[in-house]
C-alpha cells in the first residue's frame, strides 16, 4: 500500500476580484481585495443601496461605529464576516451560495457588488 498524506489548505489562491456569500450567512472577501484594501483591517462596515441592489464592504477600524469583525479562516488568504443579520436587513434571501464580482470604488472607499 502506498498512502499519501492529505495536506489541507494547499489549494491555489483565488486571484479573481470576488466576494462570496454563503446561504448560511458568511461573506468571504477574496485575497486580491485583502492584499490591497483589507490587509490591515480588522473590521468592516457594510453598506446597502436598495435602488441598485448594491452592497458595499468598507474596511474599518475598531473605533468606527457599526462595524463587523473580520476573521481569517485557518490557512487562508481571504477574510470573512458573518452577515446573516445584514442580509435580512437588506431583504436578501439566498437559497444557494453566490459569487459576485467586486470592484473597488475609490469615492465610497469600499468594494461594491450587486446582488
Within-domain flag for 2: no
Q: How many domains does the chain have?
A: 1
Mean pLDDT of 80-102: 94
Cα first-last separation, the chain: 49
pLDDT digits (tens, 9 = 90+) for 27-83: 999 999 999 999 999 999 999 999 999 999 999 998 999 999 999 988 889 999 999
Q: Is 3 among the domain residues? A: no
Q: Quote the radius of gyration of the chain (alpha carbons, Å).
A: 15
Domain-located, residue 72: yes
Range(s) of the domain holding residue 101: 18-114
In a domain, 11, yes or no: no
Residue 99 region by backbone torsions, left for phi larger than 0, else alpha for psi between -120 and 50, else beta: beta
Residue 8: inside a domain: no
How many other CB atoms sit within 10 Å of the CB of residue 100?
A: 18
- 12 in a domain, yes or no? no
**Buried residues in 41-57 as b, exposed as e (16+ CB within 10 A):** bebbbbbbeeeeebbbb
pTM of the entire predicted model:
0.84
For the segment 1-30, what is each residue's pLDDT rounded down to a tens digit? 788 887 766 555 667 899 999 999 999 999
Of 82, 115, 81, 85, whose CA–CA distance to 100 is shortest? 115
Amino acid at each position: 500500500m502506498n498512502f499519501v498524506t492529505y495536506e489541507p489548505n494547499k489549494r491555489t489562491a483565488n486571484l479573481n476580484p470576488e466576494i462570496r456569500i454563503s446561504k448560511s450567512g458568511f461573506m468571504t472577501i477574496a485575497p486580491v481585495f485583502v492584499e490591497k484594501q483589507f490587509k490591515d483591517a480588522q473590521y468592516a462596515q457594510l453598506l446597502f443601496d436598495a435602488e441598485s441592489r448594491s452592497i458595499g464592504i468598507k474596511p474599518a477600524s475598531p473605533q468606527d461605529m457599526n462595524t463587523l469583525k473580520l476573521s481569517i479562516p485557518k490557512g487562508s488568504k481571504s477574510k470573512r464576516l458573518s452577515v446573516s443579520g445584514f442580509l435580512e436587513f437588506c431583504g436578501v434571501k439566498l437559497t444557494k451560495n453566490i459569487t459576485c464580482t467586486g470592484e473597488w470604488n475609490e469615492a465610497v472607499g469600499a468594494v461594491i457588488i450587486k446582488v
